[in-house]
Structure 1
Amino acid sequence: MNTRPLILSLFAFSALLHAETSLKLAPPAIHKAAGGKVTLQSDAADSTILYTLDGTDPIAKSNPYLAVIEIPHGGTLKARTFTKDRKTMSDVAEAVIRPGLSFVVPVPSTVVPVTQDRSWPSYDWQKRHELTSAAVKRTKPQILFIGDSITHFFGGEQFDSYALRGQQTWGEFYAPRNVGNLGFGWDKTENVLWRLQHGAVDGISPKLVVMMIGTNNTGDCAASNIAFGIYSIVDELNKRLPQSKILLLGVFPRGEKPNPARDKIAEINRIIAKLDGRHNVTYLDIGPKFLTPEGLISKEIMPDFLHPNEKGYRIWAEAIEPTVKKLMGE
């Protein structure tokens, strides 16, 4: 009997098994500290750690671990180690974080600061945060826009390949005033909170902050919780930029026709309108200016019924200009 082929097959199987084992990533280590502070660590070279706080297992578009995670109200953290291309991942590491005080009640996701990578790999959220944080330190803007992709695509300094759809209007209204843009695609209220707490506005003191955020939360969050997130951002701005006035815009309408998302947005705006005149806030709802008398959004100003084009951004700029001039003392 010829055993040579069998021996070769065993060697081949052993080599294959060894290769698969060597490629397998170890889950990240989870280190818990007082106050709900959590650090994650992986010894794997050229790897990244992604995590979640909503009970789901991390996937390639989950939250990248960039700094100490703070969960003072407690919750469940899950994390995985991924290769840089995110094609290979480890098993899930999980930890239950106990609240620091026994009487602390759970809070909605809208107020728990986290990173985001929902658009990975087409949109480099981490890189944009690093570049915009450095840019505002360098330029010291007197007016600062904060928001999601609706704000990002307005104009300003170009940091990636995404088209800036209102650049002509931006150049006319804001370039002469030294204005910065901290709009980030796919951001929710909790992502803005994370950015503010991790260097986005360090070293600056703008006269005015123009803020509009919340539409990306409408898919899975209650209106009251979204408003709670916006209130939390206002509190954070008051702590970090105490001399800045805040022009808080009502969340813009979305969808061609009236729909449940618009109803939720209307409820959010009714709640956050109560901030007007408090905490350095001036509230302004310009949403109706994007609608026809029949309540429709036209493709002529918002081709996807969410993001304005140049014509839509001009409507925005002209609508807030009297208030901007007043708050800037012009």
Structure 2
Amino acid sequence: MSNNIPQLATLWAAFAAIPSVFLSRASRSPGSHAAVVAIPRRTVGWALRHGLINGQARQGGVDIMFIGESIVRWWTRDGHRVWERYYGHRRGLFAGISEDRTQHVLWRIRHGNLRGIQPKLVVVQCGTNNHAENSAQEIAEGVNAVVDEVLARVGGATVVLMAIFPRGRTPGPARDTLDAANALLAERSDEDRIRYLDINDRFLNASGLISEDLMPDGIHLSEAGYALWAEALEPLAAQVLGNAFAPGA
């Protein structure tokens, strides 16, 4: 990590120098909106995490990559045992930063998260943090911009476009917005190199309430939630990667 400190200091200095007027240009650009305009977040922690992901990518040898926000980030915490079982032997990389919105993920992809690697499978899970500031249409456009950027940078990859996971213990406006965005994202399910995967019903009971066993806070996954996700991905992962997870590991 010490070898990266000068680079990260330079990166942070560059972020700090970006004029606020530029960072807010999405609101002033006709025909545009914030969810599709790539910008960084101007915090030290975010810059450090972005630099760490770039450093891991530079090491190469990545076959499967997850990219998104905190739900991806916490593969390292609540999902770490599931990760080791399913992806530890598969040269995986998780590129998640908590609280990122689509515009931040888009910026990260354009600034190193995919540089120098050619993963066979890229799993995209983002958009939930846009729910308060963007419409369903805008959220879908933001997620689609992320997917398109991945496809442009990783020539032979298959992209798993995940339906944005349900948000909130009970049905409500946030869930409705994300459900509407998912309906738009599902329209890409027949595109070449894209596999749309919606497992949201598995997180809900018959009344539409989120299972606390799978999402204790109504947003983030428990270990059981990560296991459910990995199990749903496994048929496609085995097909694309050409190997299976280690049963009983």
**What TM-score range do you get, normalising by the shorter chain?**
0.7 to 0.9
Q: Aligned partner of 1:188: which letter?
A: R
Indicate if the aligned counterparts of 2:128 and 2:164 stay in contact, CA closer than 8 A. Answer: yes
Q: Aligned partner of 2:178: which letter?
A: I
Q: Does 1:303 align with 2:228?
A: no
SS of equivalent residue, structure 1 residue 199: helix
| TM-score, normalization by structure 1 | 0.65
- 1:85 counterpart residue number: none
Q: Work out which of the residue numbers 46, 52, 56 in structure 1 matches 2:20.
A: 52
Q: Aligned partner of 2:74: which letter?
A: F
Flag the structure with higher helix content: 2
- 2:145 counterpart residue number: 232
| TM-score, normalization by structure 2 | 0.85
Which has the greater radius of gyration?
A: 1
- 1:111 counterpart residue number: 36
Q: Work out which of the residue numbers 252, 255, 261 in structure 1 matches 2:165.
A: 252
Structure 1 stretches lacking a partner, 5+ long: 1-44, 57-70, 77-98, 100-104, 156-163
SS of equivalent residue, structure 1 residue 230: helix
Post-superposition offset of 1:314: 0.9
List 4+ stretches of structure 1 deviating above 2 A: 47-56, 326-330
- 1:179 counterpart residue number: 92
Q: Which of 192-201 and 276-285 deviates more?
A: 276-285
Alignment partners' CA distance in 1, 2:209 and 2:73: 24
Q: Aligned partner of 1:289: which letter?
A: R
- 2:10 counterpart residue number: none
Post-superposition offset of 1:55: 8.8
Alignment partners' CA distance in 1, 2:63 and 2:106: 21
Alignment partners' CA distance in 2, 1:170 and 1:261: 29
Indicate if the aligned counterparts of 2:64 and 2:92 stay in contact, CA closer than 8 A. Answer: yes
Q: Which of 276-285 and 214-223 deviates more?
A: 276-285
SS of equivalent residue, structure 2 residue 160: strand
- 2:4 counterpart residue number: none
Q: Work out which of the residue numbers 195, 202, 206 in structure 2 matches 1:289.
A: 202
Q: Does 1:262 align with 2:175?
A: yes
| 1:307-326 to 2 correspondences below 5 Å | 307-326=220-239
Indicate if the aligned counterparts of 1:234 and 1:279 stay in contact, CA closer than 8 A. Answer: no
Q: Does 1:133 align with 2:54?
A: yes
Alignment partners' CA distance in 2, 1:301 and 1:266: 19
Q: Work out which of the residue numbers 77, 102, 124 in structure 2 matches 1:189.
A: 102
Indicate if the aligned counterparts of 2:57 and 2:114 stay in contact, CA closer than 8 A. Answer: yes
SS of equivalent residue, structure 1 residue 282: strand
Indicate if the aligned counterparts of 1:125 and 1:184 stay in contact, CA closer than 8 A. Answer: yes
Q: Work out which of the residue numbers 263, 275, 278 in structure 1 matches 2:191.
A: 278
- 1:202 counterpart residue number: 115
Alignment partners' CA distance in 2, 1:137 and 1:283: 28
Identity over aligned pairs, percent? 35
Distance 1:246 1:55, change over 3 A: closer
Indicate if the aligned counterparts of 1:139 and 1:178 stay in contact, CA closer than 8 A. Answer: no
Flag the structure with higher strand content: 1
- 1:151 counterpart residue number: 72
Post-superposition offset of 1:176: 1.0
Structure 2 stretches lacking a partner, 5+ long: 1-12, 244-249
